[in-house]
Copies of this chain bind each other. A is one copy, B any other.
């Protein structure tokens, strides 16, 4: 009975492994290549492909390759990914806010602006942050923005830097593209970024990436404080908590990976 259950479980895992490999191939993949990528025998690949075809997930295309079915791709298309990200990451952001006593955020990059998907204040009426969920801030002066920019492909970052007019919001705002480029390079190297009172005279912020992840999942988390909380004197003190939270969120939002399943 126990062996029986393991075999049944294995069929679903093998099928999902094949589905992952077909999607990862992007443009069609042959059964023999699928066998090589998944580690499954070619005979199993054919049998599982037939089932994935019947279920409407993959289909044989003209050149004898297998592709994901357009109707399956449509099914995954108009899903509100920000809402899902918010639901999956909120418990971890909540714990981060409670543990640090600071306002915690999760943000993503949308059209060169940071969108705050989650905001949790440790205390009601926290003066440390005027952000709201769904609201946006400029990327160049926020800690989350600098981390997200540092995750961009080089071409996209250069386009952002050359397009931008970097308006000063405080005396500390970096308004020079070269200096901003340097700041973003530093964020990439050290794995965190600061907003050193660059958005507001009373807002200091430390951010780390949620990653590694593909660019289309580019998100970052942060904690913010007012000047009175004096985090700015030792921003490194919150890095461990930020990084633990980022790792937890990364594992929550990570999707299927193309791995050898072995000859199960």
Contact = CB atoms under 8 A, between A and B. Distances in A.
Given A13-B55, A69-B254, 11 more contacts: A16-B52, A55-B256, A56-B255, A62-B87, A62-B88, A62-B90, A62-B91, A73-B84, A73-B255, A74-B214, A78-B216
Interface of A: 4, 7-17, 20, 23-24, 26-28, 48, 51-52, 54-57, 59, 61-63, 65, 67-81, 83-85, 87-88, 90-91, 213-214, 216-217, 252-257
A88 B63 contact: no
Given A12-B12, A12-B15, A16-B15, A70 B81 contact: yes
A77 B26 CA distance: 9
Candidate in A51, A76, A78, A88 with the most chain B CB atoms within 10 angstroms: A76
Of the candidates A9, A28, A70, A254, the one having the most CB atoms from chain B within 10 angstroms of its own CB is A70
B88 A79 contact: no
Contact of A27 (B27, B80, B88, B213): B80
Closest 9 CB pairs of A and B: A71-B255, A61-B87, A56-B256, A72-B255, A12-B15, A8-B11, A70-B253, A16-B55, A11-B11
Given A15-B16, A52-B16, A68 B73 contact: no
A261 to B, nearest CB: 10
A64 to B, nearest CB: 10
A185 to B, nearest CB: 26
Nearest to A258: B75
Given A62-B88, A75-B24, A255 B57 contact: yes
13 contacts: A16-B51, A16-B57, A27-B79, A28-B87, A56-B254, A59-B88, A59-B253, A61-B87, A62-B90, A67-B88, A73-B84, A74-B217, A76-B77
Contacts of A217: 70-71, 74
Q: Which of A24, A74, A77, A88 has the most CB of B within 10 A?
A: A74
Contacts of A55: 12-13, 16-17, 20, 256
A257 B12 contact: no
A79 B86 CA distance: 25
Contact of A77 (B11, B72, B216, B252): B216
A248 to B, nearest CB: 13
Contacts of A28: 84, 87
Contacts of A59: 88, 252-253
A97 to B, nearest CB: 15
